[in-house]
Amino acid sequence: MLKDFNDIRNDVLVQSNISTTVAFITETILNDWINKSHTWAAAFYKWPFTEGRVSTTFASLVTQEDGYLRGEFPENWKSDSIRLLTIDGKEVKKLNIYSFRKFLEDNSGSDDRIYSDFGRSYFVNPNIDVSGTVTVWGQYTPAEIDVTDLTANTVFSNNEEEGNEAIVEEVLSFVKKRQQKTTESVAHHQKAVEILNGIWKRIQDEQFQYQQQGDDGMFERIDFIRGVTRNDAFKRDVWY
């Protein structure tokens, strides 16, 4: 099983039957290909092992000129990847930036626990009724492999190690492309994709066990004509 950078590097050299002493594939080039392939594979899906949780203090949020409290995305986090934000352990509801601005424009004194994000920042209702620790859950972009450390792990190491085989296949695709063997290059890339798809399918098959508590995440539909909820509108023996 491929576990670290050295395993990946050696497997590429063996399968491609090349040496980094040849002019067209140097040690530097091979290391660059491994890093590019690792970045590509790590971003191919929103893997559970690239999920993160980061905390900061409420006091660290900056007041904008428009009055909103602003925080910055954690370093190396993907854009729009904050899935949950809590302040003092209490969940804050996420709105899109347009709904967020419109709500606060129409309800300037509201202390509703709402936030939104835009670009690389997130914005919190300045009247929010909690303070303390701000914690975000989301997706980060893994760092490059340290090619000076032969034992350096990838994001797949000790998680889903078949992913390292996908990295090898993608590097081999680079090798064959450099050798002007287009058909073989495409075949190796497709093999890498198949491996990653297989890992993702297995993860999805496990996720069916997740359940929601009660009606969490569900909203009642409002009949704006009659001013009642959809549930109320369909009560038996009631006429409006």
Tokens for 174, please give them: 């680079």
160: left (phi over 0), alpha (psi -120 to 50) or beta: beta
pLDDT for the residue 190: 98
pLDDT digits (tens, 9 = 90+) for 72-105: 999 999 988 999 999 999 999 999 999 999 999 9
Side-chain half-sphere exposure of 85, counting CA atoms within 13 A: 28
Predicted pLDDT at 211: 62
pLDDT of the residue at 23 = 61
Interacting residues of 76 by C-beta distance below 8 A, sequence separation 6+: 140, 141, 142, 143
- Cα–Cα distances (Å) from 3 to 8, 34, 173, 175, in that order, read 8, 14, 20, 21
The reported pTM is 0.78
Residue 49: CB partners within 8 Å, gap ≥ 6?
Answer: 155, 156, 159, 160
Using an 8 Å Cβ cutoff, are 206 and 222 in contact? no
> pLDDT tens-digit profile of 144-159?
899 899 999 999 998 8
The answer to whether the CB of 124 falls within 8 A of the CB of 115 is: yes
CA 168 – CA 210 distance, rounded (Å): 33
